Amino acid sequence: MTSAVGGGGWRELALVVIGFGILTVFLTSPLAFHLGTVGRLDNADTRMLIWNVAWVARTLILDPLHLFDANIFHPHRGTLAYSESNLGAGILAIPVYWATRNPYAAHNFALLLSFVLSATCTYYLVRYLVGDRRAAAVAGICFAYCPYVFSHLPHVHLLMTAGLPLSMLALHRVADRPTAWRGAALGLAIAAQALFCGYYAVFVAVTVGFAVMVLAATGRRWTDVRYWTAISSAAVVAIAAALPLFLPYIRLQRATGFSRSLDGARGYSAIFRTYLASSAYAHRWMLSVIGHWNEVLFPGFMAVVAGTAGLIVGWRAGGRLREISILYGGLAAMAFWASLGPDAGLYLVLNSTIPAFSFMRAPSRFGLVVAFALSVLAGVSISALLARFGDPVRLGTAAGFRWTPYVSRKASIAALIVTAAAVLELKTPLQFSTAPPLEPAYRILATLPRRPVIEMPFYSRRSGPLRTQYMLDSTAHWMPLVNGFSSHIPKDFLDNTEALVGFPSREAFTILERDRVRYAVFHLNLLSPDERADVLARLQAFDRYLLRRYADDRVLLYEIVAYPH
């Protein structure tokens, strides 16, 4: 571990994790104090992702061979691949899910842990590059808690940003001492990001590819056989480890032709005002000034000012710091360009050369890489600032850095002020909804033999919030659902919607018999008085085919015992 995290070893790692853990609790308050009872339930995506994380955490232990056969869109298989699989978040959630069987607790634990992992990986990257723990801590804060991340709090996979600094740390270690083992570690870091978020796996691949070329140029490594051998090892390991994760998506694309269009990407491209948008308390005044925006990409004043200063400081310092300045300044520029979407040119080139771009639709998310690059550069300038206060720290000696026992008082005060400013600037107002109580009908359903279920009202393709609630409620019984919601919707599901909306009816019974659906849950509380009367009348007309298993004034649970012919 010493070689991986530096001279501080396990003790330093523990202090860093604990410190960022406390900071995460503060910046996401009150989430950690209501882990199993709250969530961003105002958002359909969050309900789907709570279900998703719980499904992965459960199924990886009980039935890993059928992990991708999620319990939605019955009778389809491989349905977890209809959207981001969230395997990484599910893995992180395993201990909490099995300790509590609470999907909210499992999801929220993974959410909180994502901040700690990202901050910790950024800390070790910047510590490795500039040899200053305090500057590394501030850089970790700037990146892991940037406004972009808080704007995507309902999307747990978009919080899994740790693979970016981890992969760059692995790459710098390869560049400093290229070996096959270090190359393999780089490949595993890239593959790990694929496990946590497919979007960011593409970003990491682009980032590392760009950095490989820059480091080859700045370090005169074009003819270094050991360097290119290590990079080749990284590529082989990354492809071998990540390919199984992408196979379900490749099969889906081949079977359905699913892809994202460039026209669609234009609607999710960044604009200049996007880089001034933030909901943090310290930034909200800018929203009324900029007017329209379509994404939150302001990196924060600390990251922008200190990052720009780091670009200048690194260039003037020469040597290793100039290499860092060129690399991360170029990376910020490239990511900014790509975030502007197809019409700006670079994204169009990437889309035509990298197959994985066909699954992506939001170029603006490249803004995360801009925030990352600025955060690293901020570490350079902050380390230089602390040195000016009399702290005898030599910059740019990552591999051979030695700490001196003396740290000046002025430097310590300056470090505390900078850290406090970074933390307070990024504090964001958060609102969470209390999880609704579970309907008793689901507890009854959980005791019955495992068979497919249809939830009513079925609604149409526009009923995402309702369908995701059905998915979330299914964590109480894990029966296969006819219902579902995801990025990809099967064609036959849409074709059957008109008939299934009217269940019970002869046409709907025909579809359910074919698919061997056995249970039906009717949510009377979601119906208007006229709709409720119509449903009750149809239930009465088909009562010989339905056995009532549970009833209250809100929900009815039926077992389908026969089918009309």
When pLDDT is cut at 50, 70 and 90, the band that residue 407 belongs to is low
When pLDDT is cut at 50, 70 and 90, the band that residue 409 belongs to is confident
Residue with more model confidence, 544 or 410: 544
Average pLDDT over residues 415-425: 92
Residue 154 has pLDDT above 50, yes or no: yes
Indicate the average pLDDT of the chain. Answer: 92
When pLDDT is cut at 50, 70 and 90, the band that residue 405 belongs to is very low
Q: 261-284 burial by CB neighbour count: b if 16+ within 10 A, else e?
A: ebeebeebbbbebbbbbbebebbe
How much is the pLDDT for 460?
A: 59
How much is the pLDDT for 309?
A: 97
How much is the pLDDT for 403?
A: 45
CA torsion through residues 70, 72, 76, 79, sign: negative
Contacts of 531 (CB under 8 A, 6+ apart): 457
Residue 406 has pLDDT above 70, yes or no: no
* Token pair of 549 as six digits: 């298993």
Q: What percent of the chain is predicted at pLDDT more than 90?
A: 80
Residue with more model confidence, 294 or 210: 210
- Residue 81's nearest CA partner among 196, 249, 245 is 249
How much is the pLDDT for 408?
A: 73
How much is the pLDDT for 352?
A: 85
Residue with more model confidence, 103 or 248: 103
pLDDT tens per residue across span 116-146: 999 999 999 999 999 999 999 999 999 999 9
Cβ–Cβ under 8 Å, residues 441 and 557:
yes
Q: What percent of the chain is predicted at pLDDT more than 70?
A: 94
Q: Between 409-425 and 367-388, two packed helices, what is the crossing angle to 10 degrees?
A: 160
* Token pair of 285 as six digits: 């005044």
HEC string for 430-455:
CCCEECCCCCHHHHHHHCCCCCCEEE
Residue 470 has pLDDT above 60, yes or no: yes
Residues paired with 558 in a beta bridge? 520, 548
Residue 3 has pLDDT above 50, yes or no: no
Residue 360 has pLDDT above 90, yes or no: no
Please compute Rg for the chain using Cα positions: 26
Report how far residue 202's alpha carbon sits from residue 152's, in angstroms, rounded to the nearest whole number.
18
* Token pair of 257 as six digits: 């032709």
Cβ–Cβ under 8 Å, residues 306 and 377:
yes
C-alpha of 423 from chain center: 22
How much of the chain is helix, strand and coil, in % rounded to 5?
A: 65, 5, 30
pLDDT tens per residue across span 503-514: 999 999 999 999
HEC string for 285-309:
HHHHHHCCCCCCCCCCHHHHHHHHH
Residue 399 has pLDDT above 80, yes or no: no
Provide the greatest CA pair distance for the chain: 89
Q: Is the peptide bond before 480 cis (omega within 30 degrees of 0)?
A: no
- What single string gives the DSSP state of each residue in 313-382? HHHHH-HHHHHHHHHHHHHHHHHHHHHT-GGGSHHHHHHHH-GGGGG---GGGGHHHHHHHHHHHHHHHH
When pLDDT is cut at 50, 70 and 90, the band that residue 392 belongs to is low
HEC string for 476-540:
HCCCCECCCCCCCCCHHHHHHHHHHHCCCCHHHHHHHHHCCCCEEEEEHHHCCHHHHHHHHHHHH
Residue 175 has pLDDT above 50, yes or no: yes
When pLDDT is cut at 50, 70 and 90, the band that residue 395 belongs to is very low
Q: 491-510 burial by CB neighbour count: b if 16+ within 10 A, else e?
A: eebeebeebbeebbbeebbe
**Does the model's pTM come out above 0.85?**
yes
C-alpha of 103 from chain center: 17
Amino acid identity of residue 241, one-letter, is A
- Residue 252's nearest CA partner among 263, 264, 260 is 260
Amino acid identity of residue 425, one-letter, is E
Listed range (38-47, 158-167, 187-196) with the worst mean pLDDT? 38-47
Average pLDDT over residues 250-261: 77
What CA–CA distances, in Å, run from 312 to 105, 134, 316, 381, 384?
45, 20, 6, 8, 11
Q: Is beta strand 546-551 parallel, antiparallel or unpaired with respect to 555-560?
A: antiparallel
Q: Between 133-144 and 409-425, two packed helices, what is the crossing angle to 10 degrees?
A: 10
- Residue 54's nearest CA partner among 15, 18, 9, 98 is 98
Residue 108 has pLDDT above 50, yes or no: yes
Average pLDDT over residues 513-539: 95
HEC string for 365-415:
HHHHHHHHHHHHHHHHHHHHHHHHCCCCCCCCCCCCCCCCCCCCHHHHHHH
- How many residues does this entry show for the chain? 565
Backbone angles phi, psi at 480, to 5 degrees: -65, 135
What CA–CA distances, in Å, run from 273 to 20, 231, 269, 286, 334?
31, 38, 11, 10, 18
Residue 2 has pLDDT above 80, yes or no: no
